[in-house]
Amino acid sequence: MVKQAIALADGDTSRVLIISIPDWGASPAGAGTRNEIAQQIDNFNIAQRQLALAEGLQFIDITSLRRKGLNDSSLIASDGLHFSAKMHQQWLQILYPALVKKLIF
């Protein structure tokens, strides 16, 4: 997918970024296996960060935002699994500046 994203950006790696996977284990739905989920997500995100570095791509970590707010139920939707609009707004505050830079040719 990364190779395809770079190709779609006409080979311009400055227009491609990789975003970490949020830790859904930090939600009520992940309570029983929170540490296992966190480890698997960390491993995946480490691999993605290494891939980004190898390809000269920007990597943005949004995973740590949810973990910092582990006890903030307003960051979780009413289903106890998905992230709320408030959490999405926090991600957007991190992602928006990077996305705008990527879109400016």
Determine the average pLDDT of the residues in 7-34.
91
As a CATH number, domain 2-103 is 3.40.50
Annotated domain spans of the chain: 2-103
Q: With 90 as the cut, is the pLDDT of residue 73 above it?
A: no
Is the pTM for the entire model greater than 0.75?
yes
5 to each of 14, 35, 45, 88, 95, how far by Cα in Å? 11, 32, 18, 23, 17
**Residues 53-78: what's their mean pLDDT?**
87
